[in-house]
Amino acid sequence: MSQKKNIIIFDTTLRDGEQSPGASLTIQEKVIIAKQLAKLGVDVIEAGFPIASDGDFEAVTRIAKEVKGPVICGLARTLKKDIDRAWDAVKHAKKPRIHTFIATSDVHLSAKLRKSKEEVKQMVAEAVAYAKSLCKDVEFSPEDAARTDIDYMVEIVRTAIAAGATTINIPDTVGYAEPAEFGRRIAYIFERLPEAKAVVISVHCHDDLGLAVANSLAGVMSGATQVECTINGIGERAGNCSLEEVVMNIRTRSDYFKECTTSINTREIYKTSRLVSNLTGLSVQRNKAIVGLNAFAHEAGIHQHGVITNKQTYEIMNPGDVGWAGDNLVIGKHSGKHAVEETLKEEGYDFTAEQLADIVQKVKDLADKQKTLHREDIMAIATDVIGALDSAEQLVVLDEIAVATGNRREPEATVTLIVGGKKKTGSGKGLGPVDAVNKAIQSVIGKGITLEEYNLKAITGGTDALANVGITVKDSAGVKYRAEAVDGDVIMASAYALVKGINRALAGKKGCGKDAPEEI
Ligand code: KIV
Ligand code: ZN
C-alpha cells in the first residue's frame, strides 16, 4: 500500500481570521483558541502579526511559550523591524516559524508599494535571507500571487527558495481565481522550478467568489502540500478557506484525494468551531457545511425515512466524526462547580480560579431563577466572564437602571453610572426600551462615543433564554470597539454590553490584532 502524504494544515484563525470585520480577541482568548487548535491537531498555528500591536506581540509570545505541538508562526512584512519583532515573539516555541510576505501583482506594485519588480525581488531575497539567519523555518508569500504575472511569480518563488525559504505560500489574496486556473498556477511552479519539490508549496485562498475551498483543493491536486485556512472560514471580507471543509473533503473523498491525508482529529472540529464562534462573536450560519446547526438535520419526511432505514441514503459523513455529540447536558441549581468546570474544560476553555468562581456564581444565580442551563449557556457565561474588564479598566460602572415601556407610552429609561467614583444619572426616551437605555447612557457619557452596531441573540430555551448582546461603538477618532454581554434579561444584557464597549473605547483597548500596519 502506498504511503499517503500529509497535507499540512496551517491555521490562520488567530491572524487572518482575526482580521474579520467585527472580530477581535483578547490575549487570553487567543491563548484559549490556540490550545484548542493544538488539540484539533493542526500542524501550524499562525498566532498573529507581532509588529501590528503590543497586544498581538504578547499574544504570539504567550502562545509560543504555552502551546505545545504545532509549529508557531508569526507574520512579518519584508522589513527587518517586522522580522525582528516576529522572531522575538516566536523564538520561545519549540518549533518557531517566521512568515514574511510582500505583494507582487502589478496593481499592488504600482498603486501600493510604488516599487519596481526588481526592487521587490531584491527585498524578497534580503528579507528571506535575514529571516533564515534567525530561524530555520521560513515561509514566504507573494501577496496577490493569483493576480501576479505568472513568470514574475515564478521568478520571485525561485528567489525566495534560493534565499532559504522552506515553505512557499501562494495566496489568492482577493479571492479572484477559479479552481482550474489556480490549480494550473500551482502546477506551473513545479514545471518551471525543480527546486520547488524540495520545499513545501502552500495555498492560501480567500472566499470573495465563494471558491476558497475549491481553489485550495485544486492546489492540493496540483501538488501543494500545505493549506492555509481558518476555523469557520472567518477572515478578511468574505473570509478564508474553511479548515473544516478542506479537512472533511480530504477525508470523506479519500477515493478522490487518493494520496492525501491530514493529521486533524476531526472529532474536535465541532467543539473548535463553537469556541471560535463564541469568543470572536462571529456566528456560524445555520446551513454552513460541516459545522452549521443544520448540517446534519434532515427536515423532509422522505429524507428522515431514508436516514432511519439506512444513514447512507442522505448522510455522506457520520456526525460523530466531526464531534457532533448531540448531547443535551443540563445544569440546574443542584449541579456543582465540578460539573461547570468539566463542561468548560471539555469545550476547550481555560480560566483562572477567580474566573471559574465568577462563572459558577452566575450559573447558580440563573439556576436559582429556575432557568435550566444548557452547554451553550455555560459557554456564553464563560465567554462573558473571560472577556470581562478588570477593575482598573472599568472607568464607568453601571449602578442602577430602570425602564418603563408599554403599548400606550413612549419607552423611557433612567440610568445611574459611576464615573470616576461619582454617581451620575441620566434618562432617555427611545423607539424601544433598548434604544431608551442607550440614550440614557449617552446622556451621561456625552456624544464622543456612539453606538454603531447592535446584535441580539437568544442562546437556548424559550422566553427564559439567555440573551447575548454584541455591540460595536465608535469613538470620536472613528476607532471601533466591540463588546458582548449575556444576561437573562435583554435590557440588562444590552446595558452591560454598552457599558463594556464604552469602557473599551475610553481605555483605547481593541483586542490584540487590529492595528495591522496599512502599508509597507
Ligand atoms: O491573503 C494574503 O495574501 C495574506 C498573506 C499575508 C499571506 O494573508
Ligand atoms: Zn489572507
Tell me, in angstroms, the distance from the centre of ligand 1 to residue 68's CA.
25
Residues with CB under 6 A from ligand 1: 16, 101, 141, 143, 169, 171, 173, 204, 206
Percent above pLDDT 90 for the chain: 71
Q: How far apart are CA 472 and CA 438, in angstroms?
A: 13
pLDDT band at 300; cut points 50, 70, 90:
low
**Residue 367 and residue 226 share a domain:** no
- Answer yes or no: do 73 and 191 share one domain: yes
In this structure, are residues 492 and 381 in contact, taking their beta carbons and an 8 Å threshold? no
Looking at the structure, tell me whether residues 110 and 133 fall in a common domain: yes
Give residue 514's pLDDT band: very low, low, confident or very high (50, 70, 90): very low
Domain count, the chain: 4
Is residue 203 domain-shared with residue 64, that is, in the same domain?
yes
Burial class (CB in 10 A: 0-12, 13-18, 19+), 508: exposed
Residue 342 sits in the same domain as residue 237:
no
The boundaries of the domain holding residue 261 are: 5-280
Q: Work out the average pLDDT over 117-137.
A: 98
Distance 61 CA to ligand 2 centre (A): 21
CA of 382 to the centre of ligand 1 (A): 32
Mean pLDDT (the chain, rounded): 91
Whether 154 and 40 map to the same domain: the answer is yes
Output the CA torsion 208→212→214→215 (10° steps): 100
The bound ligand whose nearest atom lies closest to the alpha carbon of 99 is 1
The ligand placed nearest to the CA atom of residue 101 is 1
Stated pTM of the model: 0.87
Indicate whether 508 pLDDT > 70: yes
Write the single-letter amino acid at 1.
Answer: M
Last residue of a domain, one of 361, 386, 411: 386
What gap in Å lies between CA 507 and CA 482, rounded to an integer? 13
Alpha carbon of 349 to ligand 1 centroid (Å): 29
Of the candidates 282, 492, 496, 488, the one whose C-alpha atom is nearest the C-alpha of residue 377 is 488
Are residues 86 and 72 in contact, defined by beta-carbon separation less than 8 angstroms?
Answer: no
Residue 177: its H or E element? none
Atom number in ligand 1 closest to CA 143 = 3
- Report which residue type is found at 472: T
Q: How far is the CA of 139 from the centre of ligand 2 (A)?
A: 14
Q: Whose CA is nearest to atom 1 of ligand 1?
A: 173
Name residues with Cβ closer than 5 Å to ligand 2, which is an ion.
Answer: 16
Q: Which ligand is nearest to the CA of 141?
A: 1
Same domain, yes or no, for 317 and 375?
no
Residues 24 and 111 reside in one and the same domain: yes
* For range 295-321, the mean pLDDT: 75
The region of weakest confidence among 32-46, 135-149, 185-199, 491-505 is 491-505
**For residue 49, how far is its CA from the centre of ligand 2 (angstroms)?**
12
Pick from 288, 305, 325: which residue ends a domain? Answer: 325
Among candidate residues 354, 371, 386, the one where a domain is terminated: 386
Nearest by Cα to 230 from 56, 29, 44, 60: 44
Residue 374 confidence (pLDDT): 82
DSSP class of residue 132 equals H
| Ligand 1 atom closest to residue 141's alpha carbon, by position in its atom list | 7
Q: Look at the block and give the residue holding cell 525543480.
A: 194
Q: How far apart are CA 246 and CA 242, in angstroms?
A: 6
Q: Are 415 and 400 in contact (CB under 8 A)?
A: yes
Q: Measure the CA–CA gap between 27 and 350, rounded to whole angstroms.
A: 12
For ligand 1, atom 2, the nearest C-alpha belongs to: 173
Best residue among 20, 101, 138 to mutate for probing ligand 1, ranked by most atoms within 8 Å of CB: 101
pLDDT in tens, 359-415: 999 888 888 876 677 888 899 899 989 888 777 778 899 999 999 999 999 999 999
Same domain assignment for residues 312 and 372: no
Choose between 485 and 514: higher pLDDT: 485
Phi-psi region at 412: left, alpha or beta (left = phi > 0; alpha = psi -120 to 50): beta
> Does residue 135 fall inside a structural domain?
yes
Give the residue, out of 105, 140, 141, 207, with the most ligand 1 atoms within 8 A of its beta carbon, to mutate for a pocket test: 141
The Cα-based distances of 26 to 349, 387, 513 in angstroms read 14, 7, 9
- The pLDDT tens digits of the residues spanning 427-461 come to 999 999 999 999 999 999 987 899 999 999 888 77
Residue 290 has pLDDT above 70, yes or no: yes
Distance CA 219, CA 383 (A): 37
Are 106 and 78 within 8 A, CB to CB?
A: no
pLDDT at 287 over 80: yes
SS3 content of the chain, % helix, strand, coil (to 5): 45, 20, 35
Greatest extent of the chain over all pairs of C-alpha atoms, in Å = 78
Pair 79, 177 in one domain: yes
Tell me how far the alpha carbon of residue 206 lies from the centroid of ligand 2, in angstroms.
Answer: 6
Both 276 and 312 in one domain: the answer is: no
Nearest to 507 by CA among 390, 406, 414, 354: 390
Instruction: Give 166 Cα–ligand 1 centroid separation in angstroms.
Output: 17
| Residue 518 lies inside a defined structural domain of this protein | no
Ligand nearest to the CA of 202: 1
Atom 8 in ligand 1: which residue has the minimum CA distance? 16
Q: What CATH number should be reported for the domain holding residue 495?
A: 3.30.160.270
Average pLDDT estimate for 173-201? 98
What one-character-per-residue DSSP string does 288-357 give? Answer: -TTTSTTTT---SHHHHHHHHH-GGGT-SS-GGGGT------EE-TT--HHHHHHHHHHTT----HHHHH
* Alpha-carbon gap, residue 389 to 250, rounded angstroms: 42
Reply yes or no on whether the pLDDT at 513 is more than 50.
no
- Same domain flag for 152 and 89: yes
The bound ligand whose nearest atom lies closest to the alpha carbon of 143 is 1
CATH label of the domain that carries residue 148: 3.20.20.70
Tell me if 290 is assigned to some domain: no
